Chain A
Amino acid sequence: MLLSSLLSVADPPQLLPAREQMAFTLGFHIIIVPFGVAFTFMMLVCQFRALRYGDQQALLLAQRWSRVAAVLFAVGAVSGTVLTFELGLLWPGLMGAYGAAFGFPFAIEGLFFFLEAIFMAIYIYGWRRLPPWPHFLTGVVVTLAGVGGTASVIAANSWMNQPGGFTVKDGRVTEVVPSKVFFNGAFWWETVHMLLAAYIVAGFMVAGVYAWGLLKGRRDRYHRLGFLVPFTTAAIAMPLQFLVGDTIARQVFDREPAKFAAIELVPSTADHVPETLGGVIVNGAVRYGLPLPDVASILAGFRPSTTIRGLDAIPRAVRPDDAVVNVVHLAFDVMVGTASLLLLLSLWFAWFWWRRREVPTNRWFLRGAAVAGLVSLASLESGWVVTEVGRQPWAVVGVLLTRDAVATQGNLWPLFATVLAIYLCVGIGALLVLRTMRRRWSESGPDAVAVPYGPRPAPAAKDHSDGADRP
């Protein structure tokens, strides 16, 4: 019912399956992205400890994490390739008309991905026979390429939110100013927002595994370190994310008023707008939510008298209907709500650390940390829902409607069904592989002898070493 109400009669029949498939595949890919972007950084922290201070446990962690990264990177590489195809197969109206303007950030992303793929391979497969510090440096290249790749993809996405740097004549892009396309109005903050999100999600997800181990009584140094490095990373990024998110909200208020009206659930232009927690809009009226008087106005302009443009300010032809607005608003609430919980958890951790200088033993804290990864994923996904659904009905704000961007040939439902089936298998497969690794490692324990940077271990010794996984 919700899905059908998102569509109007005039839309081509391909619009719904195309949007659902894009949402699903992007939503899947974005789970993997944090690991490609941020996980390597945590490995490098551990590896640095190992190389600098001879910390064997840190070395073992870095090695095992790189095995996990190898699997996730493969899944990310192929699910990213699918997105590339989908831009053409599902959205030929977007790429055909505006590829000349905003296609090149993807080309730059291609460069960074190339670097990432090459050095990721050298890093993952280089443990045994590369010299230590050069091996470490290949990991640094991966981390930097991850930042560059993120920035490039976000450049394309943020251009769709705040397009600029091109001239259209007779339906063709005739002039392009590349710097204004890439560094569009939304670029910097959206990039930082996503990078921090990647470090937060990867950090909490990895830390959650070790929090689980700590809860089960495995309080050895291996588990404490495996918890500490990723959790600290995420906990440091968390308050920064609040500052960045708050700034972005005000920028959206300034430059994307339609999206802001949906986020804050503002039916008609007004001042003294309340911040509505939860709630939905029904026939133009806000229902059920918990209103905090004046707060939306204060957040937008620091004064209760700040006027916020409502949904009624959007021309009727391109005004999102109630269902779209509700999705955007509730997704925003989920994002901020979950992020607030994670911020509290981070502060709690900071307090523990300040008092005791050790990994907390409080069981409620550890339980929270164990699920923090999943909570952060919910935050990440709903954040993307806000930015993507919040742009509707536009594919490129003010320039191209989504319904004009979509493919108009063939029946897309079978493709979507097949994609769902294959992704389900891939998801299950990835989880099975990770479970297999976890079991093998928990059997061999934290004292498993790893022989990096040495000569090839003898076959007999190999079976007990961590490197015994078939490469």
Chain B
Amino acid sequence: MSTTIAAILFVGVIAYALFGGADYGAGFWDLTAGGPERGRRSRELISLSLSPVWEANHTWLIFCLVTLWTGFPQAFAAITTTLYVPLGLAALGIVTRGAGFAFRHSLPEGRGEQLSSAAFACSSVLTPFFFGTVAGGIASGRVPTDGHGDPLSSWVNPTAALGGVLAVAVCAYLAAVFLNGQAQRRGDEQLEAAFRDRAVAAAVATGLVALAGVFVLRSDSPRLFHQLSTVGAPLLAVSAVCGLIALLLLRRSRTVVVRGMAATAIATVVAGWGVAQYPYLLGTHLVIQQAAAPTATLWVLVVVSCVAAALIAPSLLVLYVLQLRRKLG
């Protein structure tokens, strides 16, 4: 039962990595789009693509947090009393980002608009970085069962740094792939090509970070490394293959397949982390079963998840289909 809840929690994490990731990544490309004139069209595309969907994309984060504190309250408290610095910074980043984004396309062009645009773009890069360090801190077993771990070394360490950089790279990659598709749907060849190049660059960067990660994990997180290279290996292999296929197909403008492949590549990496951690909740300790809430509570979470699958999933599908068919806006 508790394993089911842990799996559900991880589905939420994967969903957030994909949808939230693409969302943050759009902010990365907003930041790097160049000056107000040069970046105008990229930014317009980003605004149009993000506006209707960004709030829904970030609800996955809420889903993860509430599932964690309801299903595994002890682990939740352990994480928040140890990694409170990056978590606090991420929370502030979310406010800055959301408000900046909402304000920028309601304000007339000028100082206010540029300021909120900058707030949106910068926090889009910083927030996933901090979430990445949180993941790294947990995965490397630096969160003690009773919490109150070292407030600094728990997230300032090689694995956490890898997590942070990888998160930013993954976000940028996903976003470039999705924006490439959006540009194609809008028939903007110039932007389509621009985001294709960006997707390729981000894919290569992500691959290099992942390769470097092998060495980082081997020296810094031996258990994670061992598990990833054994039980997690198939998933990582799938990820690598999908990533390569996506890279090859990008040139051929097969956006639907590319999107699927890119998403699978990222989802399998995150799933690999989950499988590698099993049966521990905090990387190297605190077995899932020991940390679980009473059965009745877990049942409520199962029911909530079923309702989510029956109600939220189709609703999300409607939202994304309407958005892709350009019925919104």
A: residues with CB less than 8 A from B are 67, 70-71, 73-75, 77-79, 81-82, 84-89, 92-93, 95-101, 103-104, 106-111, 113-115, 117-122, 124-126, 128-130, 173-178, 407-410, 415, 418-419, 422-423, 425-426, 429-430, 432-433, 436-437, 469-471
- A100 vs B84: C-alpha distance when bound (angstroms): 21
Partner of B70, one of A99, A409, A423, A426: A99
Given A104-B300, A126-B328: A471 touches B84 (CB 8 Å cut-off): no
CB contacts (< 8 Å) of B55 on chain A: these are 73-74, 77, 117, 120-121
Are A71 and B148 touching (Cβ within 8 A)?
no
Are A422 and B62 touching (Cβ within 8 A)?
no
- A317 vs B79: C-alpha distance when bound (angstroms): 32
Are B70 and A92 touching (Cβ within 8 A)?
no
The 8 A CB mask of B315-329 against A (1 = contact, 0 = none) is 110110010001111
- A4 vs B145: C-alpha distance when bound (angstroms): 34
Are B81 and A409 touching (Cβ within 8 A)?
yes
Are B106 and A469 touching (Cβ within 8 A)?
yes
Are B81 and A130 touching (Cβ within 8 A)?
no
Output the least CB separation between B245 and chain A (Å): 31
Are A122 and B319 touching (Cβ within 8 A)?
yes
The A-contacting residues of B in range 281-304, CB under 8 angstroms, are 293-294, 296-297, 299-301, 304
CB contacts (< 8 Å) of A97 on chain B: these are 73, 77
Partner of A103, one of B66, B78, B316: B66
The A-contacting residues of B in range 106-147, CB under 8 angstroms, are 106-108, 112, 116, 147
What are 22 inter-chain pairs, A to B, with CB distance below 8 A? A71-B103, A85-B91, A88-B77, A89-B80, A92-B76, A95-B69, A96-B78, A96-B147, A104-B66, A104-B304, A111-B311, A114-B56, A114-B315, A121-B328, A122-B322, A125-B329, A176-B293, A409-B151, A425-B99, A426-B99, A469-B105, A471-B329
CB contacts (< 8 Å) of B116 on chain A: these are 429
CB contacts (< 8 Å) of A437 on chain B: these are 106
- A48 vs B92: C-alpha distance when bound (angstroms): 39
Given A82-B91, A114-B308, A176-B294: A121 touches B319 (CB 8 Å cut-off): yes
The A-contacting residues of B in range 51-107, CB under 8 angstroms, are 51-53, 55-56, 58-59, 61-63, 65-67, 69-71, 73-74, 76-81, 84-85, 87-88, 90-92, 94-99, 101-103, 105-107
Residue of A nearest to B149 (CB): A409
Given A407-B81, A422-B96: A89 touches B73 (CB 8 Å cut-off): no
The 3 nearest A-B residue pairs measured at CB: A96-B77, A99-B73, A103-B70
Output the least CB separation between A289 and chain B (Å): 41
CB contacts (< 8 Å) of B69 on chain A: these are 87-88, 95, 99, 103, 106
Q: Select the residue from A75, A79, A119, A471 with max chain B CB neighbours within 10 A.
A: A471
Partner of A106, one of B61, B66, B105: B66
B248 at the interface (CB under 8 A from A): no
Are A85 and B87 touching (Cβ within 8 A)?
yes
Output the least CB separation between B210 and chain A (Å): 29
- A421 vs B96: C-alpha distance when bound (angstroms): 11
Output the least CB separation between B161 and chain A (Å): 21
Are A178 and B297 touching (Cβ within 8 A)?
yes
CB contacts (< 8 Å) of B95 on chain A: these are 78-79, 81-82, 422-423, 426
CB contacts (< 8 Å) of A96 on chain B: these are 73-74, 76-78, 147
- A75 vs B47: C-alpha distance when bound (angstroms): 17
Interface size on B, residues (CB 8 A): 72
- A108 vs B78: C-alpha distance when bound (angstroms): 23
Residue of A nearest to B108 (CB): A436
Are A71 and B106 touching (Cβ within 8 A)?
yes
- A364 vs B318: C-alpha distance when bound (angstroms): 49
CB contacts (< 8 Å) of A436 on chain B: these are 106-108
Are A77 and B315 touching (Cβ within 8 A)?
no
Are B58 and A77 touching (Cβ within 8 A)?
yes
B193 at the interface (CB under 8 A from A): no
Are A88 and B329 touching (Cβ within 8 A)?
no
Are A409 and B148 touching (Cβ within 8 A)?
yes
Residue of A nearest to B73 (CB): A99
Output the least CB separation between A3 and chain B (Å): 22
Given A88-B69, A110-B59, A407-B81: A118 touches B107 (CB 8 Å cut-off): no
- A426 vs B56: C-alpha distance when bound (angstroms): 20
CB contacts (< 8 Å) of A88 on chain B: these are 65, 69, 76-77, 79-80, 87
- A82 vs B329: C-alpha distance when bound (angstroms): 28
Are B77 and A74 touching (Cβ within 8 A)?
no
- A109 vs B148: C-alpha distance when bound (angstroms): 29
Given A174-B294, A432-B112: A74 touches B300 (CB 8 Å cut-off): no
- Apart from the given pairs A107-B67, A173-B294, A422-B92, 16 other A-B contacts in the complex at a CB distance below 8 Å: A78-B97, A78-B99, A82-B92, A85-B87, A97-B73, A114-B315, A122-B322, A128-B329, A407-B84, A408-B81, A410-B151, A422-B96, A430-B99, A432-B107, A471-B47, A471-B105
Partner of A100, one of B151, B293, B328: B293
- A86 vs B87: C-alpha distance when bound (angstroms): 10
CB contacts (< 8 Å) of A128 on chain B: these are 329
- A73 vs B99: C-alpha distance when bound (angstroms): 10
Are B300 and A126 touching (Cβ within 8 A)?
no
Are A78 and B98 touching (Cβ within 8 A)?
yes
Are B312 and A114 touching (Cβ within 8 A)?
yes
Are B304 and A115 touching (Cβ within 8 A)?
no
Given A110-B63, A115-B311: A125 touches B52 (CB 8 Å cut-off): yes
